[in-house]
Chains A and B, each alone.
Chain A
Amino acid sequence: MKLLKLVPDNTNIDFMRWRNVAVVVSTLLTIGAIAITLWRGLNFGIDFVGGQVVRAEFAQPVHIDDLRARVERLGDGEASIQSLGGEKTYQIRLPKPAGPEAAANQVVSQLRQMIVTQYPGAKVNAGDSVSGKVSEELAANGAMAIALAMLGIAVYIWWRFEWQFGVGALLTLAHDVAMTVGFFSITRLQVDLNVVAAILTIIGYSLNDTVVIYDRVRENLRKYRKMSILPLLNLSLNETLARTVVTSMTVLIALAILMAIGPQVVFGLAIAIFLGVFIGTYSSIYISAPVLVWLGVKPDSFLKSNDGEKVVPRDDGAVV
């Protein structure tokens, strides 16, 4: 049986040849992503800014302008109304009211009442209301989770490898997060709690890639003591290329299916991770590897630990 080989045997791509170009491009893109986010901001969902969302299904097709006029008559602020496919399902979002915290959920009650009384047969399928105070906490916790995850992972890499690898991992992560956030800023996709989960997943995925490559670099550094760093990185990248491609393919397949036929609520999450797979793969090759060159990782980096017998990573690395 002939098996599928996406990457031919013994590839020998000179990845590191473009590392200076890649660095310029990555830096520009990262700065661009941050600038765009600062300039345009993010389309935060009610999880992070407070407010109300109601999702309604109508018995008869409803014109969006008609619906908007009636919602606006409630006087709860400027509504943003979005069709969820067809003229029968709409999502109505209202800003958080100016009054006290407790006033927030009354807006949902009002909206619910209006829809059910003015559109016979209509059903309110979902209603969320988040007060300003809670949303601030959710945003703070989300940012905290991302920052701590990055830090915790970098410390782990430092401990398992060498400090240069920890720094490399941290820079890679910073790049990935900046790019993902920039993507959300450009597309105006809504940023809610699910997206925080997505960013954390991208961090995890990108790290997965980086660690696999680092692991191979470490192995080759021990194996080929005489080889200089650039060819050694190229060798390591080529050796892990097949794995990178196959794994990315499976994850992309699973995510594409989730986007195409999965529930609408997880679409944002799925598209973010889908994009993150590309960003993560790129960054683990063109950021995490070149960093090792600049920080002066040499073939003897792991040598002293071999002599001292103290920081030697256990050779199977597994804790059972």
Chain B
Amino acid sequence: MLDFPRWKVLAIWLTIAVGILLAIPSLLPKSAADHYPRFLPHSRISLGLDLAGGSQLLEEADLADAAKHRLTAMEENVRTELRRDPRIDTGDISLSGGQVSFMVRNPAQLDAAVERMRTLTAPVGLSGVRSWDVQAFDGNRVVMSPTPQGTAELLKNAMTDARDVVRRRIDPSGTREITVVNQGAQRILVQVPGVDNPEALKKLIGQTARLEFKLVDLNADPAQVAQGRAPPGSQILPMVDGGFIAVQRRVMVSGDQLIDAKQAFDQQSGRPSVSITFNAAGAKRFGRATQENTGKPFAIILDDKVLSAPNINEPILGGQAQISGNFTVESANALAVSLKSGQLPVKLNVVEERTVSPDLGADSIRKGAIASIVSVVAVIIFMLVTYGRFGVYATIALIVNAFLILGIMALFNATLTLPGIAGFILTIGAAVDANVLINERIREELRRGRRILDAIETGYHEARRAIFDANLTHVISATLMIYFGSGPVRGFAVVLLIGVVTSFFTAVFFTRMLVAQWARRTRPRELHI
């Protein structure tokens, strides 16, 4: 009964050795960990933002805004398509109810109109569904409505692109340990360690950075503009400095043809500005547009607000342009970063924000570590006075258990959070429980008059079932917490789950091996437990 095959002994010690080796890098200070031999495992447990300090933002796509822009973009396409030869005459294009619709003046052209509208839609995946439904009604009306599949596909692509844009904006150099991940269908989680004032971060992400150049509509009647009524083909936009201006709907050049943007100073006024460089196609369009409209004003529009509307003094042919506006060096810089990183395909709103300063994080981790150590010591003392020699084994198991938890966490690159520390302390309780169950069972078997070795064996054997069932309930609740919980709940559950598994191992196998080795060596005649 005290037989412990050699392979089992080796396997147990090997597991423990690996666990300790895995745990060491996380326990060393950062500077020492860097010199840790490369052939040994060197992944570390990362600290959650609540311990390390930093900011976390949960950004959510503004679906209403996205739908609106999709609709106006389609309106623009429809308009262009209808004008092409042979031209199809229609009434006004209406954008109500999330649909684009128009009347065809000559009913004979209805089929042609539907056919041409179909070319503006795109297939979605392999399903045969297209991004828009095109339908004819009453012999002269064409209605285009977005399909749910098309909307979902668009959102999916937009969110992937948005994630990359956000990453480029926060970290142009790509060197900091930031996390930018998609969460669910319409959210992006951003975590930046070390930043304890997220205002700049929010500004950087919050800008869609849709840059457009449009000609100012000089025919617009100022009185009508003030009332918000634009002439056909024009729209009214707010100016950043206040007031409104009428601009042509047609886009001269847009920001997606940019290849570079940086902060500069205006050569005449010396004020901060942003200098941009177009790609070849953009440069050509910009050159032609400025040539045709020299002397007229054009509007520089960012996210549907007019930054400024300077006159075109001369054709701009080199593909280099300057955005003037009421900038400071900082805001010009921020705009340059936003422009360079690309426009967000969808507007993002902050729906959750959490910030912890590094000071507070350090304070928490110090208190958490002290509490962990003190409670481990207290529990050890309690076990020693309660179970004597078997308390010593339980204690060794407890310490090994702590290393194993840290080791496994490091192995999976898990993140330790504040609730995780609470989970750690609770696991110490669970680990002790397994040992208590065994030791109490041994006491009981001794009272029943069994011989010592027999009592130990029966104790371990009988207690194992209760330990297994009891721990499995913990596994069930921890798994559910990981699956359904978020943030702190998950951090807590991860540690709990790992701890329950390691405590089962240390209590049932490891201490049993220690006890068996001792008993075989000494053949004890009496047992203090």
Binding site for B on A (CB under 8 A): 1, 3-6, 9-10, 55, 100-102, 104-105, 108-109, 112, 123-131, 133-134, 138, 141-142, 144-145, 148-149, 152-153, 156-157, 160, 192-194, 196-197, 200-201, 203-204, 207-208, 211-212, 214-216, 219, 239-240, 242-243, 246-247, 249-251, 253-255, 257-258, 261-263, 265-266, 269-270, 273, 313, 315-319
Contact status A253-B382, CB under 8 Å: yes
Q: Which residue of B lies closest to A253 (CB)?
A: B378
Q: Residues 476-494 of chain B: 1 if any A CB is under 8 Å from the residue's CB, otherwise 0?
A: 1110110111111100110
Q: Interface segment, B74-82, B236-244, B465-473?
A: B465-473
A3-B387, A109-B202, A317-B465 as given contacts; A129 in contact with B480, CB under 8 Å = no
How far is the CB of A20 from the nearest CB of chain B, in Å?
28
Contact status B379-A246, CB under 8 Å: no
Contact status A212-B470, CB under 8 Å: yes
Q: Please provide the chain B residues from 414 to 440 with a CB less than 8 Å away from any CB of chain A in the complex.
A: 418-419, 421-423, 425-426, 428-430, 432-433, 436-437, 440
A108-B353, A125-B357, A269-B422 as given contacts; A262 in contact with B465, CB under 8 Å = no
4 tightest A-B CB contacts, nearest first:
A317-B465, A102-B349, A251-B429, A262-B371
Contact status A211-B473, CB under 8 Å: yes
- Identify B481's interface contact among A105, A131, A145, A215, CB under 8 A: A145
Contact status A153-B473, CB under 8 Å: yes
Q: Which residue of A lies closest to B487 (CB)?
A: A193
Q: Which residues of B contact A100 (CB under 8 A)?
A: 349
A4-B385, A211-B469, A263-B368 as given contacts; A128 in contact with B444, CB under 8 Å = no
Q: Which residues of A contact B353 (CB under 8 A)?
A: 104-105, 108, 127-130
Contact status B357-A126, CB under 8 Å: yes
Interface of A is mostly: helix
Contact status A250-B436, CB under 8 Å: yes
Contact status B370-A261, CB under 8 Å: yes
Q: Which residues of B contact A124 (CB under 8 A)?
A: 196-197, 355, 357
Q: Which residue of B lies closest to A252 (CB)?
A: B429
Binding site for A on B (CB under 8 A): 50, 58, 60, 62, 196-199, 202, 349-357, 359-360, 363-364, 367-368, 370-371, 374-375, 378-379, 382-383, 385-388, 418-419, 421-423, 425-426, 428-430, 432-433, 436-437, 440, 443-444, 447, 461-462, 464-466, 468-470, 472-474, 476-478, 480-481, 483-489, 492-493, 496, 508, 528-529
- Identify A193's interface contact among B379, B489, B529, CB under 8 A: B489
CB<8 Å pairs between A and B, sample of 9:
A5-B386, A130-B353, A145-B481, A197-B493, A216-B466, A247-B429, A263-B363, A266-B418, A318-B468
A109-B199, A148-B480, A257-B378 as given contacts; A211 in contact with B470, CB under 8 Å = yes
CA distance A127 to B57 in the complex (A): 11
Interface-central residue, A148, A204, A313, by most chain B CB under 10 Å: A204
Contact status A102-B485, CB under 8 Å: no
Contact status A3-B351, CB under 8 Å: no
Interface-central residue, B383, B461, B462, B492, by most chain A CB under 10 Å: B492
How far is the CB of B455 from the nearest CB of chain A, in Å?
14
Q: Which residues of A contact B383 (CB under 8 A)?
A: 250
How far is the CB of B381 from the nearest CB of chain A, in Å?
9
- Identify B488's interface contact among A5, A55, A194, CB under 8 A: A194
A138-B486, A149-B476, A317-B465 as given contacts; A257 in contact with B371, CB under 8 Å = yes
A156-B473, A318-B468, A318-B508 as given contacts; A263 in contact with B379, CB under 8 Å = no
How far is the CB of A36 from the nearest CB of chain B, in Å?
25
Q: Which residue of B lies closest to A317 (CB)?
A: B465
A125-B360, A193-B487, A263-B367 as given contacts; A212 in contact with B374, CB under 8 Å = no
CA distance A288 to B356 in the complex (A): 43
- Beyond the given pairs A149-B476, A263-B364, 6 more chain A to chain B contacts, judged by CB atoms under 8 angstroms and listed by A's residue number, are A123-B359, A124-B197, A193-B487, A215-B466, A215-B470, A317-B464
CA distance A1 to B197 in the complex (A): 59
Contact status A246-B440, CB under 8 Å: yes
Contact status B432-A247, CB under 8 Å: yes
How far is the CB of B11 from the nearest CB of chain A, in Å?
11
Q: Which residue of B lies closest to A203 (CB)?
A: B477
How far is the CB of A167 from the nearest CB of chain B, in Å?
16
How far is the CB of B154 from the nearest CB of chain A, in Å?
21
Contact status B422-A250, CB under 8 Å: no
Contact status A215-B426, CB under 8 Å: no
Contact status A196-B485, CB under 8 Å: yes
Q: Which residues of B contact A270 (CB under 8 A)?
A: 422
Q: Which residues of A contact B418 (CB under 8 A)?
A: 263, 265-266
Q: Which residue of B lies closest to A169 (CB)?
A: B473
Contact status B199-A112, CB under 8 Å: yes
Q: Which residues of B contact A4 (CB under 8 A)?
A: 385-386
A9-B447, A247-B429 as given contacts; A207 in contact with B375, CB under 8 Å = no
CA distance A109 to B171 in the complex (A): 22
Contact status B436-A246, CB under 8 Å: yes
Contact status B465-A316, CB under 8 Å: yes
Q: Which residues of B contact A105 (CB under 8 A)?
A: 202, 350, 353
Contact status B473-A197, CB under 8 Å: no
How far is the CB of A134 from the nearest CB of chain B, in Å?
5
Interface-central residue, B50, B386, B433, B464, by most chain A CB under 10 Å: B433
